[in-house]
A and B are shown apart, each in its own frame.
Chain A
Amino acid sequence: MILLVVPHAEGKISKAAYELVTAARNIGREGPVIALVLGSGVAAVAAVAARIADQVLVADLPELEQFDPELWSAAVAQIAQEGEASTILIAASRDGRAYSPRVAVKLDAPLLEDVVSAQDRDGALVAERYSFLTRVTETIEAQSAVTVVSVKPGAFAAAQPASEAAEQFDVDLQLPPRRIVVTGKEKEDTGRVALAEADVVVAGGRGAGSPDGFTKLIVGLADQLGAAVGATRAVVDAGWRPYSEQVGQTGKTVQPKAYFAVGISGAVQHVSGMNKSACIVAINKDPDAPIFHFADYGIVGDVQQIVPALIAELRK
């Protein structure tokens, strides 16, 4: 069987779940696509998963209320072993990438990490992924009876839900004790369109000038375009914007149809989070800013003047 772990948040199935199903169905390996739902109060998530997978395994347990890499990896490895899974697919979100290596070690399996394609070739799994700060595409191969694959969000199309729901089964798990105590959580829900899923992203850097400048210019332009807001690490570190908006090596990876980089110089760490965007628009006062090398369109000029002019033009 091909086992996939269903990503979800706030009681809702994530878009990445549909993408994992597509990855599983196109991988070219035999067996049903089994979705594993781990969490507490996840009946609604399991019901949606039943429309996209061939079978759903559910562990709805109070112990699984809070994500923990040790608990998640123990659960996934156990189910993979019991079901003799050939392939285990996990979303390559930050949490997914924190526990998938542990699953690989438990199963003595190779890990194909953060892949954008995955295909069986004569028993070996061949995948493509990015490396060197998203500047290189490498093709990698794992020859193993069991392989763990973490799948880059946004790399696969979403699977279409079926009209019939697949069967659901509860599973018993032998979970290890929780050793990390979570003493607090700062959730950052901005109430805007989700950054990783947006068609248009407007991102700002230090060039926005100040927190107020950011709100007026970057958020203002995003509002006008119905876009998500992104930020550089420097802006987040300065406390201007929440971490959830950070794009780059230590933040989110996005690939919208249009990415507006406003007052962003274009450090490789930032570019590695956005250089897969279909169209990149750069606005910066420095004509030598590296961001212009990655831009399809751009304006060399003062963002304090250009952005209000853009907003006015879009309003026309």
Chain B
Amino acid sequence: MNLRAPHAHEGISIPTLMFKVNLALMPAALLGIVQFGVPALFLMLTCLGTALLCESACHRLNPQAAGRLNDGSALLTALLLAMSLPPHAPLWLGALGTGFAILFGKQIYGGLGQNLFNPAMLARVVLLIAFPVEMTHWISPSDLFAGHWYGLNIDGISGATTLGLHKEGKEQFDLIAHLTGLSSGSLGETASILLVLGGLWLMQQQVFTWHVPVATLVCCLLPGSLLWWFDASAIPNPLAQLTSGGLLLGAFFIATDPVTSPTSAKGKLWFGAGLGFLVFVIRAFGNFPEGVAFAVLIMNAATPLIDNFTRQTIYGSTVAEEKA
């Protein structure tokens, strides 16, 4: 038993934090399942199951691995990956991606807290490059209350994402559909309102601070709006930029991953700013219609550097230097 001071604790533990993030993602995930039907449900279950399987195997192989099976971090990785996959992606794709995320994204570094890159985004990028066809097969969601939304939706109607359509030069944007999850896109990124509400709740619960999400959104939408103002054909309108694609999911749930983002408030602002700007650059000038995963990985790589340059000034150190 630890008898050393302090004899008090705030009471927030890592399993609590992970549980809250998982909980905050639930509404958007459940809506995705309702919208995209049984294939989406099976995809999500496959991802979650694979994650637990891989995690427990790794803990058995390496008893010194940091973290524990039931701390909720593996489930969170799987949930985030599933939510960023096309809703009707084949189950083997989900299993492969999750396995890659847990084994090569997290456990190979030594477990919880040791990895450099966000495991879910690493796996998503690997899948996108290795299986481009499966990873860009988008499904139009069934209309809510249209009478058949509870149908199994096994043979989903193919449909492109707003950002993808724009790359092809076709404009199509319906704000209400994007807010409520009636647009096509990855499994869990379509319901903007639910994602924002979940993110705000997590902030209120002090799971993460406002720095990363705000910096990300501002630095993506500010240049995005300017570009759109000058040349509307170069990029979709700012509201479409905000509500379609993975920007909100990324800003609130992926970029705020503590392990792979800087620790100080200043560092978090730089990280978010860089991330938002990269997302803008990839969307406006890149070959891919969407770039959140790439941007996250690039900023993850820059995190140690940011941490190094944004170290807080120690109390009394500036005064000491001035006098010396």
Binding between chains A and B = no
- On A, residues with C-beta under 8 Å from B are none
